[in-house]
Amino acid sequence: MSKKFNWGIIGLGNIAESFADDLKLLPDARLFAVASRTQQKADLFAKKYNVPHAYGCYEDIVRTKDLDVIYVATPHSLHCENTIMCLSNKIPVLCEKPLAINSAEVKKMIACSKESNTFLMEAMWTRFLPSIEKLLELIKQKAIKNIQLIRADFGIKAPKDMNNRIFNIKLGGGSLLDVGIYPVFLSLLIMGVPSVVEAVASIGPSGVDENCGITLKNDKGQIASLFSSIVARTGIEAEIIGDNGRILLHSEFFRPTILSVIRQDGSIETIEPHYKGRGFTYEALEAMSCLKKGDIESEKMSHALSLQLMEILDIIRKKSGIYYPDHD
């Protein structure tokens, strides 16, 4: 009989609901404990998902007996603090992206994971999707040759509510860390660490970046042209372009349900990977697989990869004038 993993969630916003919905699809997982800033919100979430333990402050959840792993879904600015709290109590963590606000915080989290010998993984759910696995397979098989360019955009038109987390500078709001991280991650996954980083941003009245344009180049001469926004809806597509064709990740590219291989001769191969749930199941499965093996990090989304991603984001912020006053 396979082990059933008892999951906890810290931070009970929209992303936590999506994760909880997908967790119900996994027979080896159950939502066992939740924590919010208020008991009322925790109780309502627990009632909706039939969760036996609900707490009105984050700190109490680590005392839950038989808790196997916690999903940290709090605002970006709290990821480091909440994750270290769990790791220090030897509770494995799947932490929502971005792993932290900056690379200094990421280094602290990785060090705590190693010191406590406790699992830590960034919840970059895109990495584990069947569509992205297929993309990497196509590239390995040279479905397109000699990659020259990556183009990707992720723009949403968020309601102009300055009380919204996405417009709150103290919570790490703005386009780069919320949605721009996806194009940057795709580039890192395919091109590796860039040797040249250029970026510009438009800073809104609340101090967050509302638009961000990014150009990356690696030592092979491959270039990525990336864009993010929280004030304008874009196509949310991505292309990997070679000298004999291109692979198109249709909208929305961070969770694509259709990939097209468009060759120079005009032929098009369409691929439609099957999904289980909204897509959060795959990162949960990866976390549980690592825990079963006793690993403290994932090979697919390693500590090193998360640190590389954050170091690139740090450079983008410096180049474009994006600052988080409490974290810079």
pLDDT digits (tens, 9 = 90+) for 33-61: 999 999 999 999 999 999 999 999 999 99
Does residue 226 surpass a pLDDT of 60? yes
Residue 315 lies in a domain: no
Does residue 8 surpass a pLDDT of 60? yes
Q: Residue 184's domain spans which residues?
A: 130-274
pLDDT of residue 127: 97
Residue 309 lies in a domain: no
CA pair distance 95, 291, nearest whole angstrom: 15
Q: How many CB atoms lie within 10 A of CB 208?
A: 26
pLDDT of residue 160: 83
What number is the average pLDDT over the span 194-207?
97
Does residue 1 surpass a pLDDT of 60? no
Please, what is the average pLDDT of the chain?
A: 96
Q: How many CB atoms lie within 10 A of CB 43?
A: 16
pLDDT of residue 180: 98
The burial class, CB within 10 Å (0-12 / 13-18 / 19+), for 68 is buried
pLDDT, one tens digit per residue, over 292-320 is 999 999 999 999 999 999 999 999 999 99
pLDDT of residue 229: 98
Instruction: Return the H-helix or E-strand segment holding 155.
Output: strand 149-155
Boundary-marking domain end, from 126, 141, 171: 126
CATH number for the domain spanning 99: value is: 3.40.50.720
Residue 283 lies in a domain: no
Number of domains observed in the structure of the chain: 2
Residue 325 lies in a domain: no
pLDDT of residue 63: 95
pLDDT of residue 325: 86
What number is the average pLDDT over the span 226-244?
97
Q: What is the pTM of this model?
A: 0.96
Boundary-marking domain end, from 92, 107, 126: 126
Whether 67 and 187 share a structural domain? no
- Nearest CA among 13, 59, 57 for reference residue 171: 13
pLDDT of residue 3: 82
In the chain, % of residues over pLDDT 70:
99
Boundary-marking domain end, from 108, 126, 144: 126
pLDDT of residue 48: 98
pLDDT, one tens digit per residue, over 237-288 is 999 999 999 999 999 999 999 999 999 998 999 999 988 899 999 999 999 9
Residue 198 lies in a domain: yes
What number is the average pLDDT over the span 135-146?
95
CA pair distance 175, 190, nearest whole angstrom: 22
Residue 81 lies in a domain: yes
Whether 186 and 80 share a structural domain? no
CA pair distance 31, 21, nearest whole angstrom: 10
Whether 16 and 48 share a structural domain? yes
